[in-house]
Amino acid sequence: MSDSCCDGNARKAQAGDCCAPDGNVMLLSCSGGSNVGQLANQACVELTQEGFGKIFCLAGIGGKLSGFVRSAKDVPRMVVLDGCEVGCAKAIFKEAGTLLRGYVVLTDLGISKNKDFARKREDIDQVKAAAKQASQAQV
């Protein structure tokens, strides 16, 4: 919750728009053990740093921790990035009984999966653009 008004942004609090994540897009990635898993994670990190949304823990949903699962159910907008068609993030949502929204598979964007863990700038930018598009579709 580091960049939310809940951490003490009094101006926002006084305006009455504090805390509820209405303006925040929940960003989730599989963060898996390949270049595309790590690209997904990097895209979520950068989108958080740029203020587009807020990265959230997919592992907490996978562990069926109450706060994480409920947050995923209640948030107005989310983006879920899976690195490849194996679909681990998608499977986690199914297991947790949570509706999957804003879903993007990086290999569907034409990015090849490999184990070199190289994260090219152009690939990160492509993933970020796809994430923004997936989020906009929920407005």
Spatial distance between the Cα atoms of 83 and 6, rounded to a whole number of angstroms: 32
Asked if 93 interacts with another protein (CB under 8 A), we say: no
Asked if 97 interacts with another protein (CB under 8 A), we say: no
Is residue 118 packed enough to be buried (19+ CB in 10 Å), middle (13-18) or exposed (0-12)?
exposed
Asked if 19 interacts with another protein (CB under 8 A), we say: yes
Spatial distance between the Cα atoms of 108 and 131, rounded to a whole number of angstroms: 13
Q: Smallest distance from the beta carbon of 101 to another protein, in angstroms?
A: 14
User: Which residue of 38, 71, 98, 135 would you call a contact of another protein, by CB under 8 A?
Assistant: 71
Asked if 13 interacts with another protein (CB under 8 A), we say: yes
Where do we find the tokens 């994480």?
A: 68
User: Which residue of 7, 50, 116, 122 would you call a contact of another protein, by CB under 8 A?
Assistant: 7
Q: How far is residue 63 CA from its own chain's centroid?
A: 17
H/E stretch holding 2 = none
Q: Residues 32-61 vs another protein: string with x where CB under 8 A?
A: ----------------------x-xx--x-
Q: Tell me, what amino acid is at 111?
A: I
Asked if 110 interacts with another protein (CB under 8 A), we say: no
Spatial distance between the Cα atoms of 33 and 19, rounded to a whole number of angstroms: 34
User: For binding to another protein (CB under 8 A), which residues are involved?
Assistant: 1, 4-8, 13, 16, 18-22, 24, 26, 54, 56-57, 60, 65-76
